[in-house]
Amino acid sequence: MQQSTQLDVLANNLANASTTGFKRQLAVFRGHPSHDLAQGKTGVDPPNWNQHSGGISTSTVATDFSTGPLVPTERDLDVGLAGQGFFRVSDDSGQQFLTRDGRLMVNQTGQVLTAGAGHQVLQAGGAPLVLPPGFQNITITTAGEISVRTAAGEVMPLGFLDIVQPQSTDQIQKLGDGTYSFQGPLAAAGPDVQVKQGHLEGSGTRPMVEMMKLIESTRAVESNINMIKFQDETLSQLLQMSR
């Protein structure tokens, strides 16, 4: 059962090997000592599955938030983050989320949205980022400051991207489309976090490593299945001999 969970996690990592800003996941297992070692005496195993002794169980499926490689795209509305931090975004109802997917687009009203989930990109302070009509180009500095050049050739500053960091990655949960929900307070990302305009963060999946682990896990599943078959055959032979 645990190797089956491992296979699902590895397959999902490989499927997202080219997904912008994807963070690979890890199945974490927990070993259980035998009943005699755990209790210091022989006896009947507890009926609760979580308290059962022997074997292993899945403790959690954790996310590896290591920074992925920054890939140049030469597109002004592509932004990648170098360092630990997240863009804060919101949906139409005002519910806020976190993301590292910096593929941005501008709708007809000038609102800047994420290309993946279609969420509104927020400025520092919480207001949605809106570009003025007729702007010629957009510039985003490494500190996240945004400015545009108007049709008259003037440079108009608009503010800063809202780049934040939770107190702990345990407070955020993956939702899909490169989006995370969060609990608890958020703080402004530190000065070591830089915005790279014209870049996107690549996937955190390392295909070769994931493929090797996938092969190992597949062989472990096959070995367990063979052991179960061997046990069934042994019991069958024992029952036939006892008749």
151 and 218 co-located in one domain: no
Q: Report the pLDDT value the prediction gives residue 24, as an integer from 0 to 100.
A: 93
Enumerate residue ranges in the chain where pLDDT < 70: 35-53, 243
25 and 122 co-located in one domain: no
Instruction: Report the C-alpha gap between 8 and 107 in whole angstroms.
Output: 37
Phi, psi of 111 (to 5 degrees): -70, 140
115 and 183 co-located in one domain: yes
Instruction: Report the C-alpha gap between 106 and 83 in whole angstroms.
Output: 26
Q: Report the pLDDT value the prediction gives residue 37, as an integer from 0 to 100.
A: 64
User: Of the candidates 205, 232, 242, which has an alpha carbon nearest to the alpha carbon of residue 9?
Assistant: 205
34 and 119 co-located in one domain: no
162 and 76 co-located in one domain: yes
Those residues with Cβ within 8 angstroms of residue 166's Cβ, 6 or more apart along the chain or in another chain: 86, 98, 172, 182, 184, 185, 186, 187
58 and 147 co-located in one domain: no
Contact 161, 120 (CB under 8 A): no
Q: Report the pLDDT value the prediction gives residue 48, as an integer from 0 to 100.
A: 67
Domain count, the chain: 2
85 and 10 co-located in one domain: no
Q: Report the pLDDT value the prediction gives residue 29, as an integer from 0 to 100.
A: 87
The helices-and-strands tally (H runs, E runs) of the chain is 3, 18
90 and 192 co-located in one domain: yes
Q: Report the pLDDT value the prediction gives residue 45, as an integer from 0 to 100.
A: 61
Owner of token pair 């507890």: 46
Instruction: Report the C-alpha gap between 28 and 6 in whole angstroms.
Output: 9
Q: Report the pLDDT value the prediction gives residue 123, as an integer from 0 to 100.
A: 94
Q: Report the pLDDT value the prediction gives residue 242, as an integer from 0 to 100.
A: 73
Q: Report the pLDDT value the prediction gives residue 96, as an integer from 0 to 100.
A: 95
- Model pLDDT for residues 21-58, shown as the tens digit of each residue: 999 999 998 887 776 666 666 666 666 666 666 778 88
Global pTM reads 0.80
95 and 154 co-located in one domain: yes
45 and 77 co-located in one domain: no
User: Of the candidates 115, 65, 107, 57, which has an alpha carbon nearest to the alpha carbon of residue 89?
Assistant: 115
Q: By residue range, what is the domain housing residue 154?
A: 70-201
Instruction: Report the C-alpha gap between 133 and 163 in whole angstroms.
Output: 25
Those residues with Cβ within 8 angstroms of residue 119's Cβ, 6 or more apart along the chain or in another chain: 89, 90, 91, 97, 99, 113, 179
89 and 188 co-located in one domain: yes
57 and 110 co-located in one domain: no
